[in-house]
């Protein structure tokens, strides 16, 4: 989502990032979770991804939900904890790592089905691929961060779904797009 369409102010971005960091810190310390910021949209249904990067800027955890099924504030808690402690690609976050971790939050719009991957706009849209029982998703920022064009993004998306690189060309392939309001500590 570009800044013109942002639903949250810069000060709300800062409050949300502070909250997400506080959720992770409280869990590490065995303390009660911090109070949710007083931001009206956090009480509404919403979905997000929480991404952790290590001191070198490398991915350290990323978990989220595409579809809204709970208030956004609760989804932030769920995904902060899952990114830090339940991403199967990484070990549990260690307390000593927390000061070195930078956080990124992506607040998603509801996905919409598209007729063709030609509608996918690299750097603007997140994309969801489903073929049979397999599926994968990339947030809007992934392709530009990796330097991928549309076709390269679709090839990696296919592989992420456990398909061959050209799996996205299957007549059974179904696609959906979404946008995200992305903000980070970095």
Task: Show me where the domains of the chain are located.
Answer: 3-108, 112-179
> How would you label 57-86 residue by residue, b for 16+ Cβ within 10 Å and e otherwise?
eeebbbbbbbebeebbbebbbbbbbbbbbe
Instruction: Judge whether 12 and 20 are in contact, CB under 8 Å.
Output: no
Average pLDDT (84-107) is 96
Q: Is the pTM of this model over 0.85?
A: yes
Mean pLDDT estimate for the chain: 94
16-51 residue pLDDT tens: 999 999 999 999 999 999 999 999 999 999 999 999
Distance from C-alpha of 20 to C-alpha of 79, rounded to nearest angstrom:
9
What pLDDT shows up at residue 6?
A: 79
- CATH number of 112-179, picked from 3.40.47.10, 3.90.1300.10, 3.30.70.3040, 3.30.1490.150: 3.30.1490.150
**Residue 5 confidence class, pLDDT cut points 50, 70, 90:** low
Average pLDDT (61-70) is 94
List helix spans (H) across the chain.
10-29, 72-85, 142-146, 150-160
- By residue count, the chain amounts to 186
Instruction: Give the tokens for residue 141.
Output: 């920022």
| CATH architecture assignment, domain 3-108 | 2-Layer Sandwich (3.30)
Q: Do domains 3-108 and 112-179 have the same CATH topology?
A: no
Any residues with CB less than 8 A from the CB of 95 and at least 6 apart, and which? 28, 29
What pLDDT shows up at residue 123?
A: 92
């Amino acid at each position: 989502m570009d800044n013109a369409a942002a639903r949250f102010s810069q000060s709300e971005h800062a409050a949300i990032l502070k909250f997400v960091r506080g959720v992770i810190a409280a869990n590490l310390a065995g303390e009660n979770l911090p109070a949710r910021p007083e931001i009206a949209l956090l009480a509404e249904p919403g979905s997000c991804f929480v991404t952790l990067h290590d001191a070198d800027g490398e991915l350290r955890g990323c978990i989220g939900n595409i579809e809204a099924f709970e208030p956004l504030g609760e989804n932030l808690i769920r995904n902060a904890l899952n990114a830090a402690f339940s991403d199967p690609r990484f070990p549990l976050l260690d307390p000593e790592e927390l000061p070195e971790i930078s956080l990124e939050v992506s607040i998603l719009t509801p996905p919409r089905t598209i007729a063709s991957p030609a509608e996918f706009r690299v750097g603007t849209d997140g994309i969801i691929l489903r073929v049979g029982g397999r599926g994968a998703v990339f947030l809007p920022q992934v392709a530009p961060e990796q330097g991928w064009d549309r076709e390269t993004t679709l090839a990696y998306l296919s592989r992420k779904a456990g398909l061959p690189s050209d799996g996205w060309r299957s007549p059974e392939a179904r696609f959906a797009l979404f946008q995200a309001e992305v903000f980070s500590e970095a």
